[in-house]
Amino acid sequence: MTTLPPPPEGQDPFRPPPSFLPEPPAPPPPLPETGPTAAVPLPPKPATEATPTVSTPLSPRTGSVYRRTIANEETTVLTPVTAATNILDRIPLSERKRWRLLAGGSALLAVLLLGFSIYLLFINDQWQTRSSALTSEAYDLGSRLADANAQIVEKQATLDLVSEQLNTAQARILELVDEKAQAGDDISYAQQQLSLYQELSALGGSVSLALNHCVNEHEKLVGYLKNPEAWDPGDLAAYEASVNTLCNAAQSANATLQKALTE
């Protein structure tokens, strides 16, 4: 911030310097006497008594105003201004120029404002059209969105149902696969049992045959022993031993069969 220099001694700091003031007009002629008394010339006022102020109406009687104008630093001359003077005449030329410029500028500004207002009206109309189109589009999109939402809800419900059905189907598949496997197990087990029974049946047949042989041979041996003198003792003993072996084998096979049947 710059600091202004202090005003000169004895000068009002709020008053512009004398150079900003217009040149004082020439001193008017002395006012004519209005009364019967003789005019007494006004004693010249000492310059030191002059007090610079603004214009002040001094004489309502004549409609004139006295302007006390600073002529210089020492003297002040009161200048009468008649009411008949045009007000523009009393405005300095520079002031008038300024007023003309201001008027011209105002007119230009008014024209510009008018043009701008028309432009704004045009733009406003376009924006309103766009706003209407957007509102219509928004309603359309909203309607389509609602339809899409409804479809999504419907599809989701369908999907949930299908998922549930898939889970049920998968669970059922696993059950059926298990049931099939169990059935396969049962068949395999049955085949095993069938094979076992076939084996046992075959074993039973063998045992039965062996036991029949045993019985037959045993009956023959009994017959031989009824008349032992008719046979060689050695051959008879050998035959008896072979019959015992045969019967023991048959009994053993029978024991195995009985054991297998009980398991």
Partner 1 sequence: MTHSRLMKASALAAASASLVACSVIPVAPEGLPEDWIPSVSPSPIDPDLLDSPLGFDPEQESAVRIRNSKCDELSSGSGFILDDHTIVTNRHVVEGFLDLEVNTSDGRDITVASAAVSQVSDIATITTVESLSPFAPLADEDPGLGDFVTIVGFPLGEEMTTTMGSVLQRSDDNLDNADHVFISSAEVEHGSSGSAAYDEQGEVFGVVYAGQDDSNYAIFIPISIVKESLANLDPLAAIKTCTY
> Which residues would be at the binding site for partner 1 (CB under 8 A)?
94, 97-98, 101, 116, 120, 122-123, 126-127, 130, 133-134, 137, 141, 144, 166, 169-170, 173-178, 180-182, 184-185, 188-189, 191-192, 195-196, 199-200, 203, 256, 260
Q: Residue 159 Cβ, how far from partner 1 at the closest point, in Å?
A: 13
Which letter, b or e, does each residue of 21-54 get, where b requires 16 or more Cβ atoms within 10 Å of its Cβ?
eeebeeeeeeeeeeeeeeeeeeeeeeeeebeeee
**C-beta of 160: minimal distance to partner 1 in Å?**
15
Cβ-based nearer residue to partner 1, 81 or 203: 203
Sign of the C-alpha dihedral computed for residues 233, 236, 242 and 248 taken in this order: negative
Min dist CB 8 to partner 1, Å, is 22
Q: Which is nearer to partner 1, 173 or 237 (CB)?
A: 173
Residue placing its CB nearer to partner 1 in the complex, 47 or 202: 202
CB of 106 to partner 1, least distance (A): 13
Instruction: Provide the minimum distance between the beta carbon of 211 and partner 1 in the complex, in angstroms, as a whole number.
Output: 19
Smaller CB distance to partner 1: residue 172 or 220?
A: 172
List the structure tokens of 128. 């309103």
Instruction: Mark out the alpha helices in the chain (DSSP H runs).
Output: 87-90, 93-226, 233-262
CB contact burial 116-140 (16+ within 10 A = b; e otherwise): eeeeeeeeeeeeeeeeeeeeeeeee
Nearer to partner 1, 55 or 191 (CB): 191
The number of beta carbons lying within 10 Å of the beta carbon of residue 203 is: 16
